[in-house]
Amino acid sequence: MGIFSLELDKPIEVELDDHDAEKLLGELQRFIVEE
């Protein structure tokens, strides 16, 4: 289990299990590539 802190307009902390974490990281990487 990991805790991710994303700093946007306001800080967001989300607790994810490994599967959700991998899925989220995949989405973030794709989003960064599209930028």
Say if residue 33's pLDDT is above 70: yes
pLDDT score, position 3: 63
Phi, psi of 20 (to 5 degrees): -65, -35
What is the Cα–Cα distance from 33 to 17, expressed in whole angstroms?
A: 24
What is the Cα–Cα distance from 13 to 30, expressed in whole angstroms?
A: 21
Tell me the three state secondary structure of residue 6.
strand
* pLDDT tens, residue by residue, 2-28: 666 666 666 666 676 777 878 888 888
What does the DSSP assignment read for the chain?
A: -EEEEEESSSEEEEEE-HHHHHHHHHHHHHHHHH-
The structure's pTM equals: 0.38
Domain ranges of the chain: 2-34
Q: Which residue has the tokens 């930028």?
A: 35
